[in-house]
Structures are given as C-alpha cells and as structure tokens.
Amino acid sequence: MESVLVSACLQGVPCRFDGRGKASSETAAAIGDRRPVSFCPEVAAGLSTPRRPAEIVGGDGHDVLDGRARVVDDTGRDVTEAFLEGAGRALEAARRAGCTEALLMARSPSCGRGRVYDGTFTGELRDGDGVTAALLERHGITVRPAPGG
Ligand code: SF4
C-alpha cells in the first residue's frame, strides 16, 4: 500500500503550539486509501507542547535552509536549529516509509506549503514554504497543503 507523510496535527494529535490538533474530514479524504505516516517535525526536534508560536523572519523555509533567514518565537528566541532538525527527521521518516507525497498543515513555519506567516506575528502571510516542506520538496517529495487546513 502507498504511504503518505501527514502532519500529525492534521490527524488530531494535539501537537500544535497551542496544544491542539486539527483533524478533518477533508484531510481524511485527501489521504484516501493510502497509509498515513503521521509526523510532527517540531515535536520530533524536542520542542515542548504547548510552545510559543514561531515564524520565519527574513524569508521562507528555503531561505532558512540556505542560511538567509531564521525561525524565531514571539519572545525573540531563535529556534532555527530545532526547525532544521525537525525537517531532517521528517525527511528520514518519509524516506523510511517510501513516501513520495506529503500532506502538510497550511501556513505553518515547518509544514506550510505555498503560503506561510510572514514573520511579523500579525497574521499576515507571504509566499513560500515552511522549513520541513522546503526540505521535502528539495528531495523530490511532493508537498501538498491540507485542504481546509
Ligand atoms: Fe507539528 Fe507541522 Fe502540525 Fe506544526 S503544523 S504541529 S510542526 S505537524
């Protein structure tokens, strides 16, 4: 059976920064008959739940991978290394399970695909990917934002 990497919070795991999950029928439909490989990069990197919200400052996940941008939380703490570690662990999990596609939570600084928060903590978005989404894409895994996520 084909496997698909899925943001753990989309399967109802309460791993979001606010201690909540976000399962939905849209996510279940997008997974279809594939085997979901549930994964949270931020928890895998050892960040606590709940935790301070974080955003990418100075670019998107690709810029973080290239050392041009950082991930900081809303107290100004730099959490870039944890986000990079989580992205690497997500890639390992996807490869181990043979996933060619990932279904990830929209707008997250880790999992976002196409649009992410802009680093101002004002709810504004910018074009770009989260750190995990960027790393997966760079390694040939197709990342799709969860419908309704
Ligand atoms: Fe974890 Fe990604 Fe969900 Fe954030 S969006 S809680 S990093 S799975």
For residue 130, the one-letter residue type is G
Q: Tell me, using a 6 A CB cutoff, whether residue 40 lines ligand 1.
A: yes
Kindly report which listed range (15-19, 22-26, 137-141) carries the lowest average pLDDT score.
22-26
Residue ranges making up the domain that contains 86:
3-145
Per the structure, the count of domains in the chain is 1
Contacts of 5 (CB under 8 A, 6+ apart): 37, 39, 90, 93, 94, 97, 99, 101, 102, 103, 104, 136, 141
pTM of the model: 0.97
More confident residue, 79 or 146: 79
* Residue 117 Ramachandran class (φ > 0 left, ψ -120 to 50 alpha, else beta): beta
Identify which of 66, 26, 62 has the alpha carbon closest to the alpha carbon of residue 137.
62
The arithmetic mean of pLDDT across residues 56-83, rounded, is 98
Compute the distance from residue 144 Cα to the ligand 1 centre, in Å. 14
Helical (H) or strand (E) element with 29? helix 25-31
The arithmetic mean of pLDDT across residues 60-80, rounded, is 98
Ligand 1 atom nearest residue 105's Cα: 5
Residues shown for the chain:
149
User: Tokens for 148?
Assistant: 């309704």
Residue 10 predicted with pLDDT over 70:
yes
pLDDT digits (tens, 9 = 90+) for 29-41: 999 999 999 999 9
Q: Tell me, using a 6 A CB cutoff, whether residue 42 lines ligand 1.
A: yes
